[in-house]
Chain A
Amino acid sequence: MRWNKKNGGGWVSRCGLAGAVLLFGAIGLIRAQTTPATSTTTPSSANPAPSTQPPPAQPQPPSIATPKPLVMIDPAHGGSESGAVLNPLILEKDVTLALARRLRLDLGTRGFTAELVRDSDVNLSTDDRAAKANAAHPVLYVCLHATSETGGLRVYTAMLGEGKDGHGPFADWETAQFPSLAASRAAQQEITTAIQKSGISARALPAPLRPLNNVISPAVAIELGPSKADVSQLVSADYLQTVSAALANGITQVLSASGTTSGMSR
């Protein structure tokens, strides 16, 4: 098919005309949208307003609501996976959930937003927990466990070797924690100190414990044990409240020491 100069040229010129109209129309639209902003400032600077008129409103900087730092609390186990049977009547999954709910309240009163990975008796795999935490981008992920062994609290970080960094922009699932490991260890020390200050013995250790390795944010796990040889202490409101307050104090110190968001994610 040959190029018909007459018809083709007419079609090109019509398209060109339509394009020009669209272009000018778009420029006009943009000017129309920007004009009110300039019109409020230009007259006031060039021609001062008469004294009878109210002074023009000062342009306010757009208000940006600073989001509260989010702490993700993960009560371990749940559903058919009950965790340790602490005694015939006390299951680990119930103790962790009770402590998690208290900790959420205590963190709320300290100005943080706290969310629970599970707030009911449901089964969640460790991968699901890590995925939920990673999607929320918390400033700190706290996993809660309970044991019948005495000795107060143990604060764990992931057990990862040196040099296990991600592959370019993608984090290796097995070692996703690696970039945040230093921040996690700092948090571990702050929380351990805060617990010890409250009169409960605490110990900091690394542990091969999922899903700590798979969480991108700074992450710690807390294992709650009775301070004396009495497992029923783990369901005592007083003990849980003392532990929860100590943890909340520790977390507050962690976040204030790091400038809440500077050294941590989000």
Chain B
Amino acid sequence: MIPRQFLITTTILFALTLGMSVYVWQLRRHEIATPRPPNRVEHVAPPTSGPMEQVTVYVAYDDPGELRAQSISIPIASGRQQRAEGLLQALVGIYTAKGSTHPLTAGAEIRQVFLVDPGMAVIDLNSAFVDGQVSGVLAEELTIASLVQTLATNVPALTRVKILVDGKERETLAGHVDLSGFYDVQQIAELVKQLSPQ
């Protein structure tokens, strides 16, 4: 014969299990029915106060088709990678500003910069960057040379750079300049000499 206490305990436990199952099922239904906001990558704006450092960036000028070295101040970053990102975001800020010499659309951003040893960097642009890029061999070449040379000047021992768009490989920047391979920092340095004001 089954003891009475055992029967009562079993019944209570069974009722609890059933109740919890119903509750979980209700929660799941509610989760499915509620629309979720899309995944968004929010970029943290660099701090506008605090210690700053002077860096050299290479700024494109569409009209004469030149690249000019320019000194700017950026906030000192905690890590090497954060510094590289801050550097390129400051450069893109110059291009998205009103009256830019090499205009990019307002939404153009550097999503991330990865520094991969030995000597490789990956620059991830957002799609607004390439959508707002003027299509043309020289215009696109100026953008690439500006990004790569700025990074290579400020990140020691960099030898090659890969450019992605929204984390994916892309054939060209805006129909002309090749993005399928790696950019050799030395070759870009040679190109920059030819693009510099004579």
Contact = CB atoms under 8 A, between A and B. Distances in A.
B123 interface: no
Contacts of A225: 136
Given A205-B141, A208-B144, A84 B136 contact: yes
Contacts of A77: 175
Interface of A: 77, 81, 83-85, 92, 145, 147-151, 154, 156, 159-161, 174, 203, 205-210, 213, 221, 223, 225
B138 interface: yes
Nearest to A82: B175
A85 B136 CA distance: 10
A223 B137 contact: yes
A149 B62 contact: yes
Interface of B: 62-65, 134-139, 141, 144, 172, 174-178, 180-181, 183-184, 186-187, 190-191, 194-195
A171 to B, nearest CB: 16
Contacts of B172: 210
Contacts of A208: 141, 144, 177-178, 181, 183
Considering residues B175, B187, B190, which has the most beta carbons from chain A within 10 angstroms of its beta carbon? Answer: B175
Q: Closest 3 CB pairs between A and B?
A: A147-B136, A84-B135, A208-B178
A83 B144 contact: no
Contact of A209 (B62, B177, B183): B177
A118 to B, nearest CB: 16
A208 B191 CA distance: 10
A161 B176 contact: no
Given A208-B177, A209-B176, A85 B183 contact: no
Contact of A151 (B65, B135, B195): B65
Contacts of A161: 184, 186-187
A221 B136 contact: no
Contacts of A83: 135, 175
A64 B192 CA distance: 49
Contact of B194 (A81, A84, A206): A206
B139 A147 contact: yes
Contacts of A81: 175
13 contacts: A85-B135, A145-B137, A147-B135, A147-B136, A147-B139, A149-B134, A151-B64, A161-B186, A161-B187, A205-B195, A208-B177, A209-B177, A225-B136
Nearest to A156: B137
Contact of B136 (A149, A159, A160, A174): A149
A244 B110 CA distance: 41
Given A147-B139, A149-B62, A205 B178 contact: no
A160 B180 CA distance: 14
A174 B181 contact: yes
Contact of A145 (B65, B176, B195): B176
Contacts of B138: 147, 149, 151, 154, 205, 223
A98 to B, nearest CB: 18
Contacts of A151: 64-65, 138
Contact of A154 (B134, B135, B137, B177): B137
Nearest to A92: B135
A230 to B, nearest CB: 15
Given A85-B135, A149-B139, A208-B183, 16 more contacts: A84-B136, A84-B175, A147-B135, A147-B139, A149-B138, A150-B63, A154-B65, A161-B184, A205-B194, A206-B190, A207-B141, A207-B177, A208-B178, A210-B178, A223-B137, A223-B138
